Amino acid sequence: MNQVQKLLIIGFVWPEPNSSAAGGRMMQLISLFKAQGFSVTFASPAQNSDFMVDLGVYEVDKKSIELNNSSFDIFVKELNPAVVLFDRFMMEEQFGWRVVENCPDALRILDTEDLHCLRLARQKAFKENRSFSTTDLFVEEVAKREIASILRCDLSLMISEFEMELLESTFKIDKALLYYLPFLLEPIISSEIEELPSFENRKDFIFIGNFLHEPNWNAVQYLKETIWPLIKKQVPEAVLNVYGAYPSQKVIQLNNGKDSFLIMGRASNAQDVVTEARVVLAPLRFGAGIKGKLLEAMQCGTPSVTTTIGSESMHGDLPWNGFITDDVADFVDAAVQLYLDKTIWVKAQKNGIEIVNQRYSKGLFETDFSTKIEFLRSNFEQHRLSNFMGAMLQHHTLKSTKYMSRWIEEKNK
């Protein structure tokens, strides 16, 4: 009888699909591997949170692990996973060398989520009031760590074609180490479209996003100070509901009933509030990856107005689910048009549904991903031989990180 293959996921945090797109993404990956017949263990050094998903419901084993503690070595050796998935490069840095030592034949996969170095370099350029250039990445401290982590792994899952291209052209990463795997959604069928609330049955503008994420906080400030007063001038009855997990005191202080700028905090069901809204506003000025909030808007049949950064890598050659502009006056006009003009709104909604079905349908990726994993597992020795830079980094990391970690462990005793 075939032994069940084991997947170990090492999570930066416990998944919170209702708090962030990253949590939803993680649940999609779990479902993908379970469909391939893997038994899944999710381990994390993070504290439990009130909003984390109950992994037991999904038949996933939950395991708390410690940083800089050799108890992990015993755990991983006993589990003996066929595949280890690192949730973001920080987890590969912490635990990758231990996996290499104790389970050398396990396939090591990195889920990048978004390129952290790209997001941070863009943020820095924005704060310094200058244009971002790819050369900024070479001085970004995080880039050195993140690229090293990508090279040490057998495969890195990329959510954005733009970032994949960037890694190949700017950092000269071998294509064989990268795999495009965006958000994986169920296609939207016509009966579901018919059930969506109509233009007339929706009201208000909405912004939604986790406030632990700096681009979201910046976008809300931008809305409050610049964009919303101009929309309100043209549509006096308009209301903007700002939803998001983990709002800080400075976010809550932006609430202003007189201006109909309402800070709503965490949505108990994000899809419900987005489906009830008429237009999503997402004036993101820096960031990376693909935006869960904008994909969710498409799934809910809610048109959106966003920026070039907001829409990056999301729609290919297909027309957007609304409007894309970096100009304030154009952004305001686009928002007002979508809010008041049913014809434009309906066309935008159709565009969004088209994008979901043509670019994010789970069925487009499942088989190919399964084939890729099988191929790498059967040919991992050859695959690693071709990745000399990765082997070299692994060699030095194993030495330096290992002794640093051992030193911390001794100190902690």
pLDDT, tens only, 220-253: 999 999 999 999 999 999 999 999 999 999 999 9
Q: Where are the alpha helices (DSSP H) in 270-387?
A: 270-276, 292-299, 308-311, 328-340, 342-359, 366-378, 380-385
Which of these, 290, 340, 341, 296, lies nearest to 321 by C-alpha position? 296
pLDDT for residue 344 is more than 60: yes
Mean pLDDT of 74-81: 98
Confidence tier at 285 by pLDDT (50, 70, 90)? very high
Paired tokens of 298? 């498409």
Supply the pLDDT for residue 408.
84
Q: Starting from the edge strand earliest in sequence, which strands make up the sheet with 178-180, in order?
A: 60-64, 39-44, 6-10, 83-87, 107-111, 155-158, 178-180
Residue with tokens 């074609």: 161
CA–CA separation, 355 and 230 (whole Å): 30
Q: What percent of the chain is modeled with pLDDT above 90?
A: 90
Which of these, 114, 127, 150, lies nearest to 290 by C-alpha position? 114
CA–CA separation, 109 and 84 (whole Å): 6
Confidence tier at 403 by pLDDT (50, 70, 90)? confident
Supply the pLDDT for residue 174.
96
CA–CA separation, 353 and 75 (whole Å): 44
Supply the pLDDT for residue 1.
39
- Please state which of the ranges 51-60, 188-197, 393-402 shows the lowest mean pLDDT: 393-402
Q: What is the CA radius of gyration of the chain?
A: 22
Torsions phi, psi for 131 (to 5 deg): -75, 145
CA–CA separation, 53 and 116 (whole Å): 24
pLDDT tens track for 96-154: 999 999 999 999 999 998 999 999 999 999 999 999 999 999 999 999 999 999 999 99
Determine how many CB atoms are found less than 10 A away from the CB of residue 129.
Answer: 6
Whole-model pTM: value is 0.93
Q: Which residues share a beta bridge with 278?
A: none
Supply the pLDDT for residue 219.
97
Cβ contact 146:113 at 8 Å:
no
Run of H or E residues at 324: strand 322-324
Give all domains of the chain, ordered by start, each with its CATH number: 6-184+362-412 (3.40.50.2000), 190-359 (3.40.50.2000)
Q: What percent of the chain is modeled with pLDDT above 70?
A: 99
